[in-house]
Amino acid sequence: MNDRQHPSIGLEVSSLPTPSLVVDLDAFEANCSVLAGHMARRGLDWRPHIKAHKSPLLAQKMVEAGAIGVTCAKVGEAEVMAAGGIDQILIANQPSTEQAWLRLAELQESAWAAATIDSPEHLELAKVASHSAGQSIPLLIEVDIGMSRAGVRSTEDAVVLAEKIVASGLPFAGVMGYEGHLLTISSTDEKSRAINEAVSRVVKAAEAIRDSGIDVDIVSCGGTGSFEITSAIDGVTEIQAGGGCLMDRFYREMCGVDLANALFAVAAVGSRPTEREAILDAGWKALPDKIMKPICVDINRSEVSQLYAEHMRLDLPDGSDPQIGDRLKFIPGYSDATTVLHNEFLGVRDGVVVDVIPLAARGALQ
- Assess whether pLDDT exceeds 60 at residue 277: yes
6 found inside a domain: no
Query: Do 143 and 199 have their domain in common?
Result: yes
Residue predicted with more confidence, 238 or 6: 238
**Cβ neighbours for 131, distance < 8 A, ≥ 6 positions apart:** none
176 found inside a domain: yes
Average pLDDT over residues 32-61: 98
Query: Do 63 and 171 have their domain in common?
Result: yes
CB 186 within 8 A of CB 169: no
Query: Do 221 and 280 have their domain in common?
Result: no
Residue 332: give the domain boundaries: 13-21+259-358
Domain total in the chain:
2
- Assess whether pLDDT exceeds 90 at residue 2: no
- Assess whether pLDDT exceeds 80 at residue 3: no
272 found inside a domain: yes
- Assess whether pLDDT exceeds 70 at residue 159: yes
Distance of CA 312 to the CA centre of its chain: 26
pLDDT > 70 fraction of the chain, expressed in percent and rounded: 99
Query: Do 263 and 234 have their domain in common?
Result: no
Q: Average pLDDT over the chain, rounded to whole?
A: 97
365 found inside a domain: no
pLDDT at 263: 98
Query: Do 237 and 272 have their domain in common?
Result: no
| Each residue's pLDDT tens digit, 13-24 | 999 999 999 999
CB burial string 82-116: b at 16+ within 10 A, e below: bebebebbbbbbbbeeeebbbbbbbbbeebebbbb
Query: Do 116 and 29 have their domain in common?
Result: yes
- Assess whether pLDDT exceeds 90 at residue 169: yes
pLDDT at 5: 81
249 found inside a domain: no
Query: Do 102 and 182 have their domain in common?
Result: yes
pLDDT at 4: 59
C-alpha distances in Å from residue 311, one per residue of 13, 15, 275, 281, 339? 20, 19, 18, 5, 17
- Assess whether pLDDT exceeds 70 at residue 319: yes
CB 106 within 8 A of CB 83: no
pLDDT > 90 fraction of the chain, expressed in percent and rounded: 98
304 found inside a domain: yes
Q: Domain of 332: which CATH number?
A: 2.40.37.20
Domain final residue, candidates 216, 244, 272: 244
Q: What is the pTM of this model?
A: 0.96
| Each residue's pLDDT tens digit, 208-248 | 999 999 999 999 999 999 999 999 999 999 999 999 999 99
Q: Domain of 53: which CATH number?
A: 3.20.20.10
Domain final residue, candidates 219, 244, 269: 244
Query: Do 210 and 302 have their domain in common?
Result: no
Q: What is the DSSP letter of 252?
A: I
